[in-house]
Chain A
Amino acid sequence: MDIQFTEEQELLRSSIQRLLRDQYDFEARRKIVADEQGFSRRQWEAFAELGLLAAPFTEDAGGLGGGPLSTMIIAHEFGRHLVVEPFVETVVLAGGLIERLGDAAQKQGFIPDIIDGKKIWTLAWTEKGGRFDLADVTTTARREGEDYLLSGGKSAVIAAPWADYLVVSARTSGSRRDPGGVGLFVVDRRTAGVDLQSFKTIDGRRAAEISLRNVRGQLLGKEGEGVAALEACRDRAIGALCAEAVGAMGELNSATLEYSKTRKQFGTTIGSFQVLQHRMVDMFIAHQEALSLMQHLNLSISGGESGLSRLASGAKTKIGYAAKFVADQAVQLHGGMGMTDELNVGHYFKRISSINIQFGDPAFHVLRYARFGAAA
């Protein structure tokens, strides 16, 4: 079950590695994050040019047909470089939903612009007080002619300030937390009635609280099928987020190991202390196991295997806790330096903390995994 990458996949990986090494080192990223926009349009175009935004889409949709494994490869490298641009939001979340739910006109209308890097998207499913429940939706959608009018609020939507379009979950019927009655809607972010309050995320990205007042949107898929679509979307998102986390873990481990071999205290390198050696062995093991599980999950997504949601929750839990452990220890072993904004270690820590929140934290997913197990 080890992934022996195909030639194409190896090529994809090495070309991303080259691009990021040349253009996305830690200093370059710092400048991007400090920029007024908080992301780089030029980088986004470079990703498009390299085919990264096309990779996971099917060939029918104009993509390269790389599927979830190409997403994994890209997300893993992006995690290693702390890339802030909204690849997961645009391609995996919104792109994945359009590809699966959209009618011919929507696919033809939206996907080529995603692939070409012309339009940025995100998914707005979270609401205040809803925590991680996909069905906890109070935003309403009222039919008007061919379109719908959406009203309500979405919270902490990553990449919303950058986005041209939003995919918004909203309710056409049923009460709050009712899994039925929720649909997904495409909203032009600049439409009248969309109001954003932007803020910076802990990992240097941009997000927003969104308020919607009679905002015109078009239905994606069918009424009442939004939650099921979001569940499948979450599984795929977890596949990508886990890959990012594993990429970040690998970098933290290399940085920590390197530091322990050079940093001297009490006349010797701190890497010679057994207590730190054993800690770093546990960090190594955590990374190895997370890497295995990341591959297992993405292979299963790729193969469309049954029981995916349980596995996704399991991976989100195990990799989430493993990444948290590695991040905690990396900061700890770097001592005061680990606390500084100057060093990349703290930024990986923050990225991992952010990943752990998105689509449900490990404490949420462990119980979800357990419930699936009890039902099985």
Chain B
Amino acid sequence: MEYLTLIISCILVNNILLAKFLGNCPFLGTSKKMETAVGMGMAVIFVMVVAGVITWLIWHKVLVPLDLGYLRTIAFILIIASLVQFVEMFLKKSIPTLYAGLGIFLPLITTNCAVLGATVFNVDDDLSFLMATVASFAYAVGFGLALVLFAGLRERIMLARVPKPLQDTSIGLITAGVMALAFAGFSGMV
């Protein structure tokens, strides 16, 4: 039950894109086409879960015992950057089909603040190992869900006649605002 609440809270109520405002650059950048949105969503789910697990271990087994808490930001970003690089090489070598699918999105994830943000939230909320893993997964699913829904809306907007100054990013942001309003409706759930 505890886990169910956590999952619902991370996916819908505290949606990392629409309620916490993290990862907006890829949100606006990769949402023009459905395929890229799905690819980005998958890549984020994959990296965020692995990053969540590793940063949790580093934080609780290395940084806290050695009293190096102030190095958190620098340690976490290095872990994420090297992890992304490693995942990229690993996929290229052993699972080429998946690499072809995720390929171009993987390097982008290093500067996706949703990944760093989720790992920081896990540490700040002082979650247990299993809880942190589940939360990372749920945050990533929330990210993917919002991204895919938004891409669907944006494909429709392309066909509409939007006034010139509002075109592209501007109307995209306003659409995201309406989506955030819809997601705000979940806030009473948990």
* A and B from one complex: no
Binding site for A on B (CB under 8 A): none
